[in-house]
A and B are shown apart, each in its own frame.
Chain A
Amino acid sequence: MISFIVKRLLQSALVMLSVAFIAFALFRFVGDPVANMVGQDTSTEERIQIRKALGLDDPVYIQFLNFTKNAVQGEFGNSFTLRVPVSGLMAQRFPATLELSLISAILALALGVPMGVYTAIHRKTLLSKAFMTISLMGVSLPTFLIGILLILIFGVVLRWLPTFGRGDVVDLGWWSTGLLTASGLKAIILPAITLGIFQMTLIMRLVRAEMMEVLRTDFIKFGRARGLSDRSLQFRHALKNTLIPVITITGLQVGSIIAFAIITESVFQWPGMGLLFIQAIGNADIPIMAAYLVLIAFIFVVINLVVDILYFVVDPRLRSSSESGSE
């Protein structure tokens, strides 16, 4: 298992290096970084000076080396438009995005798994059919439309919940959280639902399909013939056996929730990284884009590693494949 993790870490490093190269290429070759940094009235001499100071005269591989060295330390230079270090901007925005993503992922799991189990066991009840219909809508409606509809109903018509922003934030020094204040909690409800509803329906349908598959297997039949209760069969024996695909998909989905929170963040004016990224694209603010790219890639890599390790925890067959099987 350890050799497996080491192998995985090496692969991850390779992935990160390639992403870093793309980010670097973006930074270095899309437009002229110096022209982006200075005003129009800067003289040619001064431009050359800056170019030298920034190391842009060095050979490309040395530049890439420097870029990577800085990136490892979280340093991506200054934002072109805001003129402050990108790392600071990211650190400021990251908690908002992560909180939103985690809440919606938890929401999706906490609702999606039980709904999937329920619809798999009671296939013909009215409630199951209702769940299936809702899930069809969840899959087919675009995120922004759901967001706007929620804003219209709960924000504008009922006036129950705020429609934009993060509410009051408590600063913990290294982290700013909205989860400790009433207004912050209220503010996160609508965006979390909007972001989580697609994942929830996906998880629900996946769990349902897997459950129906597992409930047909021999060991469930044999369990039934031993007199085990339905509850034990369904939850202890069947549900656990559906977990591998669910973990895989959930892991990927958590990654994409974080990466694609952009739409939800723009609809709700949520001050997260997605919003920062959208603004950066509008302003051609390449350091922010590069940093965002690297950060998202990093999150994906970490999640995939966690998913791989979870496989080992769940499935004993994988655990012992590295040992010699005793017969």
Chain B
Amino acid sequence: MSQLLIDNITVEFPGRKGDFIAVESVTLDLQAGEILGVVGESGAGKSTVGNAVIGLLQKPGRMIQGEILLDGNRIDDLDENLMRALRGKRIGMIFQDPLTSLNPLETVVEQLIETIDLHLKVGAKAARKRAIDLLGQVGIDNAEVRCDQYPHQFSGGMRQRVVIALALCAEPDVIIADEPTTALDVSVQAQILDLMRGICRDRNVGMILITHDMGVIAEVTDRVAVMYHGRLVELGKTAQVLGQPKHEYTKSLISAVPRSDRRIDRFPLVTYIEDVGDMPDIDLDAHWLGQAKAYEKNDGPLLKLTDLSMRFITRHSIFPSKRQFLTAVDEVSFDIEHGEVFGIVGESGSGKSTIARMITGIYQPTGGKIEFAGTDLTALKTAKEINPWRRQMQMVFQDPFSSLNARMRVADIVAEPINFHKQAASKEECREIVNDLLEIVGLGKVAARKFPHEFSGGQRQRISIARALATRPRFLVCDEPTSALDVSIQAQVLNLLKDLQEELGLTMMFISHDLPVIRQMCDRVMVMKDGKLCEIAATEDLFNNPQHEYSRHLLDLIPKFGAS
């Protein structure tokens, strides 16, 4: 008998515009000690399945069909009190973001004690002992001391370990992990996945692992269920589903995952979902936008950084000797040639975004020189001197939701840089340019009158790209432009960036923590760690023959997928 049986459930969310079926006739079973992956893109209903199991469907969502059985006993019709007694005790849950999953005002041990005492009724003293044991088991060193610290004193990976300890408080039989490693760096992700696999094996716990990351699925799951638009499209042994997918959607999804093993010209699209229109027929060379090519070429590289450094003060003091600093970028030097796509890769805190911000003038570097087209930007003082250079470099940010002003129409968002840098002769011309830009990024001019919230993440990122292109830049900085997006959308956006880069002759700096994406996008790559430069190499060289130890380490950590 399976430990957990999700039998033919359908979940609907009643709404004013009619009922929305989030999950339709899904049947899954979970054996003890097994990790079952549930994979799909956003909106596929995979989290809804997890929430239905633990009885925490967001109101007004409800199950209108099917049963959920735990060890053969039906649990979906229990009343709230009985269900609450099951949560944490029989079914544990782990959420995506370890930074927000813990109460910031209580120490780690207080939160553990509350949960342990609630389920096991052992008293505060025994609960504390168990809490410290648990923390040790999930790999927190010096648990006796660290347990009395507050969540903010732990790093992201450590907090996720605390979250896992909390889920394990009462030895549950089943754990539902909802994107447990999505917010973590690749090396931390590897550790956490390792830990979770160990827990399932040693304690005979069944785990449902919900993720959008095919690499994670390939790495740890025994079986995998693929969901698409609320339906289960494929279920089987992981190796079999990934190796010989049967369903068209699965095939399409797998082919869209950027490969780390070889470079291909364009990203395959998830054609099953929708046909994405080709680039519109605008002759970019003759167009206003094409004039970006007309920039005077200087001799030597377009961008030359020399000993660039950035220090942030972490402790203020009147006495200079008592101040403490964090060196985010430590004397980094590199060049970017004309028309090149230059990649920067590294884990969070490695200083890669800080470099982008210094180049674009968001931060003032504490040391070093930034030469753009032969001009030292750090020597320029007034806005009047700097603005012409700023216009030539634009940035696309990571989070498509917070990087667009929610109260402005798309047309105004895209027009703002044009007007600021006085690039259009008249209002009519400006409007035309905006419309063309929206056509070029594949949104169409109907998008101009809408507000950002009417668009999905991928579409918003297209708006960001249109805005970045609006000043006719010749240098584009992309800071993790697709890390918040689904695989299929990521493929579209990356293709768009590639096309634009080629057609407009842009020079691009592409920042990512995702090595496969870097491999597909970049000509040369720089590897960074703790603010220091580890290695700069041509992309193919880096992947085939990494020189620096840390580069090798990073390459080893990529979840192996698609190598078959």
Contact = CB atoms under 8 A, between A and B. Distances in A.
A237 B317 CA distance: 35
Contacts of B119: 227
Nearest to B96: A218
Contacts of A327: 153-155, 158
Given A228-B114, A241-B103, A314-B105, A222 B93 contact: yes
B104 interface: yes
A99 to B, nearest CB: 33
A73 interface: no
A219 B163 CA distance: 10
Contacts of A322: 315
A298 to B, nearest CB: 27
B324 A227 contact: no
A229 B153 CA distance: 27
A224 interface: yes
Contacts of A317: 104, 150, 152
Contact of B153 (A218, A240, A326): A326
A219 B159 CA distance: 12
Contact of B167 (A3, A219, A226, A237): A226
A316 B105 CA distance: 6
A241 B87 contact: no
A314 B106 CA distance: 10
Q: Which of B95, B103, B155, B163 has the most CB of A within 10 A?
A: B103
A217 interface: yes
B28 interface: no
A221 interface: yes
Contacts of B56: 221, 224-225
Nearest to A319: B150
A219 B87 contact: no
Given A241-B105, A317-B150, A324 B100 contact: no
A320 interface: yes
B262 interface: no
Contacts of A221: 56, 95
B88 A225 contact: yes
Given A225-B93, A226-B169, A227-B86, A219 B103 contact: yes
Nearest to B155: A327
Interface string B152-179: 1111001000010011010000000000
Contacts of A227: 84-89, 115, 118-119
A315 B106 CA distance: 9
B271 interface: no
B92 interface: yes
B171 to A, nearest CB: 13
Contacts of B208: none
Contacts of A236: 114
Contacts of B84: 227, 229
A325 interface: yes
A81 interface: no
A327 B149 CA distance: 11
Contacts of A18: none
Contacts of B88: 225-228
Nearest to A238: B103
Interface in A93-110: none
B87 to A, nearest CB: 4
Contacts of A316: 104-105, 107, 150, 152
B161 to A, nearest CB: 13
Interface string B91-124: 0110101001111111100000011001100000
A232 interface: yes
Contacts of B216: none
A237 B103 contact: yes
Nearest to A217: B100
B4 to A, nearest CB: 15
B54 interface: yes
Nearest to B149: A326
Interface in A280-327: 314-317, 320, 322, 324-327
Contacts of B315: 322, 324
B314 interface: yes
B150 A320 contact: yes
Contacts of B86: 227
B54 A225 contact: yes
Contact of A228 (B95, B115, B154, B314): B115
A79 to B, nearest CB: 45
Given A218-B97, A232-B114, A224 B153 contact: no
Contacts of B152: 316-317, 320, 325
A105 to B, nearest CB: 24
A64 to B, nearest CB: 29
Interface string A203-241: 000000000000001110111111111001000110011
Contacts of A3: 317
A327 B88 CA distance: 28
A185 B163 CA distance: 52
Q: Which of B56, B101, B107, B150 has the most CB of A within 10 A?
A: B101
A224 B95 contact: no
Interface string B538-554: 00000000000000000
Interface in A118-141: none
Contacts of A217: 100
A98 B153 CA distance: 42
Nearest to A244: B105
Interface in B314-347: 314-315, 317, 324
Contacts of B85: 227
Contact of B163 (A222, A320, A325): A222
Nearest to B167: A226
Contacts of B97: 218
Given A226-B118, A228-B118, A327-B153, 7 more contacts: A218-B95, A223-B103, A225-B56, A226-B92, A227-B119, A317-B104, A324-B324
11 contacts: A222-B163, A224-B56, A232-B114, A237-B106, A241-B105, A316-B105, A316-B152, A320-B153, A325-B153, A326-B149, A326-B153
